[in-house]
Each structure stands twice: as structure tokens, then as C-alpha cells.
């Protein structure tokens, strides 16, 4: 396991917090004082979503991956001794979000409250989840925007969907988890239409860590939304070489422009954030993280995403096994920059 305590980023975070306080004082609540710890586990469930949050002895599962991830969910909870899920949020009735919740429900002995954007749906996996929840005597709670609950010392607030539409993805439950000065925004498969509605509603969307919408589809995480969230980290949950081309290059470019640190389950495996409400650390299952983070700075240098070879005019991913000699390297901060410089992609790492 790789552990990085990002003191530099934390210093930046404090600056952001100070800046945010100025705005907060004008009307919104100030950050609560907290004394424990919040862990946010983004699970590597392939082309799907799942996050387990543990805070001061309480637990929240946001989505559970595909049906085939049931055993992963089961063993992940077992390994951490999570026998009770105080809260479940099923962001929307698609298999890649609710399918594996069945595995979690096979392990835990108790369930508190289960949230969903709809009380009923025809999706087979959604129905299976609701019938399993009934065995615990738990029905579905459909929250309204602005509703919130306590997860230990953390506060979970629903920010979306502002309005239900015909598109199941846009109906995803969106919530922000605040713990002291650190916050996480979970977006399910929400894309631009849902983002626009939240922006138009004037909601406070700012967050330290953003779970990027819809597995990194090109239609999610528009510039305006990204500006409002202003995340220090962006987590993309997707499978390597998935059929959808996620994450989309245009999305990656937007994240890169925003200067956010990109973490991806397809490359980093499980991604675990731990915070005491002011300091934030991140642990990834696989080393690839450092190689692909857009904001990962070289010693004293600028962050970069692609490594060009001035002699062959090819550009590579920073983790490519065929990187050029140091003297032949040039660094690009976006795909556009590499292409604009008339470099062509390496055939090996296929950036
Ligand atoms: Zn979906
Ligand atoms: Zn999805």
C-alpha cells in the first residue's frame, strides 16, 4: 500500500478553507468542530461505482457496484468488521450502482436507513435490493434536496436531483459529506443537465474531493460545475479498457485545466481517503496513482500529464515503459498541448 500525506496540498487546503470561510460567514454554516476520523473508501468495482464511508463508528455505503461485485462487497465489509450499515444510498436504479448492494446485505446484520431517488423501479437489480432490504424491515426513503443526516461527526446533505427527469442517470442522488473543513461530493451518474439544475438552484457545491459523474463520461463534470466544486482531488470510477471509452479525453482535459489531482480506480485500484477534518491523506491500492495524477508535481516542478520525446515526436503516458531519455523529454500539461505541438501518440501506452 502506498501512503502519501500531502502536506503541501494540505497547506493549500487550509488556504482554500480560509477563503471559503469568508463566503461561509455571509450566511452558511461554518464547519463543525470534529474530533474523530472519516474514512472514504472508493472501491475498485470495475465499470461501476461503490464507496464505503466510516466515521466515528458509523457506516454509509454509497452504491455497491455490479451484481458480480457482490462478493467483493461482502469480503470488504467482513475484513473491516462492518456488521451494521447505518445508511445506504442507492444513487439510481442501474445495475452498476445497485447490483452489488445485495452482497453487502448478505454480510451485514443490521441496516439503518436506505435512500434512493425513487421508491420503485422496474430494474431487476433494484427490485432485488429492495426485497433484500425488506428482510431487514427497511423501506426506501426518498430524500428531498436539502435533507441531511449525521454520520458520526460528519454531515451528509442531499444536493440533487433538483428535479426528476426521464433520464435515470440525471436522477442520481447527489450528496456532499462534510467533516470539519474537508468535504466529499458524490454525484452518481449525474451529467451536465443535472449539474446545470444544481448550479441554477444556487447550491453550495464546493468540495475537497469530487467523485466524478458517470464514470468520466464526456457529458459529465462541465467547466461551470467544476469551477463551483473546485476539488483538490477528483476520483473516477471506471474499468480499464471499458467499452464506453471512459474516462473521456475531453473530461480528463477539463480536470487537468482545473488543476485537480486525478485518481482512477482502473489504475489505482481501491482509493482510501482518511481525514480528521483538517488533514487529508490518501492511500491507493496500486502505485499507478502517482504516474497519472494530473496535479502530481515533480520535485519543485509543475504537474504534467504526458511525456513527449523531442527526437521521435511521440508523446507517452508518464507510466509508459518506453519513456525517452531524460534529455529528450518534454512535458505536456494536456492532450491538446501535445497534439498542438504536432506530437503523435505512443503505440505502446496509447495515451
Ligand atoms: Zn447509471
Ligand atoms: Zn453508472
Predicted pLDDT at 4: 42
SS3 (DSSP) at 241: coil
Ligand 2 centre and the CA of 59: distance in Å?
Answer: 22
Sheet holding 148-151, edge to edge: 148-151, 154-160, 174-179, 182-186, 209-211, 233-236, 261-264
Predicted pLDDT at 343: 85
Predicted pLDDT at 288: 55
C-alpha cell at 285: 491500492
Sheet holding 110-115, edge to edge: 2-5, 280-284, 271-275, 38-42, 50-55, 58-64, 84-89, 110-115, 140-141
- The ligand with the least distance to the CA atom of 244 is 2
Ligand 1 centre and the CA of 220: distance in Å?
Answer: 12
Ligand 1 centre and the CA of 92: distance in Å?
Answer: 7
Residue by residue, pLDDT tens for the chain (351 residues) are 444 444 334 434 433 333 333 333 333 455 678 889 999 999 999 999 999 999 999 999 999 999 999 999 999 999 999 999 999 999 999 999 999 999 999 999 999 999 999 999 999 999 999 999 999 999 999 999 999 999 999 999 999 999 999 999 999 999 999 999 999 999 999 999 999 999 999 999 999 999 999 999 999 999 999 999 999 999 999 999 999 999 999 999 999 999 999 999 999 999 999 999 999 999 999 875 333 333 343 333 344 678 888 889 898 988 888 888 877 888 776 777 788 788 899 988 888
Q: Can you tell me the distance from the alpha carbon of 65 to that of 44, in angstroms, rounded to the nearest whole number?
A: 9
Ligand 2 centre and the CA of 95: distance in Å?
Answer: 8
- The ligand with the least distance to the CA atom of 93 is 1
Predicted pLDDT at 31: 63
Q: Can you tell me the distance from the alpha carbon of 245 to that of 239, in angstroms, rounded to the nearest whole number?
A: 10
State the CATH class of domain 2-25+36-292: alpha beta
* CATH 3.60.15.10 segments of the chain: 2-25+36-292
* C-alpha separations of 40 from 18, 73, 85, 112, 331 in Å: 23, 15, 14, 19, 32
Which residues does residue 151 pair with via DSSP β-bridges, in sequence order? 154
Render pLDDT for 215-243 as a digit per residue (tens, 0 to 9): 999 999 999 999 999 999 999 999 999 99
Ligand 1 centre and the CA of 130: distance in Å?
Answer: 17
Ligand 2 centre and the CA of 206: distance in Å?
Answer: 22
Ligand 2 centre and the CA of 186: distance in Å?
Answer: 12
Ligand 2 centre and the CA of 163: distance in Å?
Answer: 19
Predicted pLDDT at 30: 53
Amino acid at each position: 500500500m502506498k501512503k502519501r500525506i500531502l502536506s503541501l496540498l494540505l497547506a493549500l487546503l487550509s488556504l482554500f478553507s480560509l477563503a471559503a470561510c469568508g463566503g461561509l460567514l455571509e450566511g452558511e454554516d461554518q464547519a463543525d468542530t470534529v474530533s474523530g476520523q472519516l474514512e472514504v473508501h472508493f472501491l475498485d468495482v470495475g465499470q461501476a461505482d461503490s464507496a464505503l464511508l466510516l466515521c466515528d463508528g458509523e457506516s454509509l455505503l454509497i452504491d455497491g457496484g455490479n451484481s458480480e461485485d457482490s462478493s467483493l462487497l461482502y469480503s470488504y465489509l467482513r475484513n473491516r468488521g462492518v456488521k451494521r450499515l447505518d445508511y445506504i444510498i442507492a444513487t439510481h436504479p442501474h445495475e452498476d450502482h445497485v447490483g452489488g448492494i445485495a452482497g453487502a446485505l448478505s454480510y451485514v446484520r443490521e441496516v439503518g436507513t436506505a435512500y434512493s431517488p425513487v421508491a420503485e423501479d422496474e430494474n431487476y437489480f433494484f427490485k432485488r435490493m429492495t426485497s433484500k432490504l425488506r428482510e431487514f424491515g427497511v423501506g426506501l426513503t426518498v430524500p428531498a434536496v436539502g435533507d441531511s443526516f449525521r454520520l458520526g461527526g460528519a454531515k451528509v446533505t442531499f444536493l440533487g436531483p433538483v428535479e426528476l427527469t426521464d433520464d435515470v442517470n440525471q436522477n442520481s442522488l447527489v450528496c456532499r459529506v462534510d467533516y470539519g473543513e474537508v468535504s466529499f461530493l458524490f454525484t452518481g451518474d449525474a451529467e451536465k443537465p443535472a449539474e446545470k439544475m444544481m448550479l441554477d438552484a444556487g447550491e453550495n457545491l464546493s468540495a475537497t474531493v469530487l467523485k466524478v459523474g458517470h464514470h468520466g463520461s464526456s457529458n459529465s463534470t462541465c467547466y461551470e460545475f467544476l469551477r463551483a466544486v473546485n476539488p483538490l482531488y477528483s476520483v473516477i470510477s471506471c474499468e480499464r479498457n471499458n467499452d464506453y471509452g471512459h474516462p473521456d479525453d475531453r473530461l480528463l482535459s477539463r480536470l487537468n485545466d482545473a488543476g485537480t489531482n486525478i485518481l482512477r480506480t482502473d489504475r489505482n485500484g481501491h482509493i482510501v481517503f482518511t481525514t480528521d477534518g483538517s488533514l487529508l491523506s490518501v492511500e491507493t491500492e496500486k502505485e499507478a496513482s502517482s504516474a497519472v495524477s494530473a496535479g502530481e508535481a515533480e520535485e519543485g516542478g509543475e504537474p504534467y500529464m504526458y511525456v513527449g520525446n523531442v527526437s521521435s515526436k511521440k508523446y507517452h503516458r508518464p507510466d509508459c515503459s518506453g519513456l525517452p531519455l531524460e534529455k529528450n523529454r518534454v512535458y505536456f500539461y494536456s492532450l491538446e498541448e501535445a497534439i498542438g505541438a504536432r506530437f503523435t501518440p505512443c503505440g505502446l501506452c496509447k495515451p
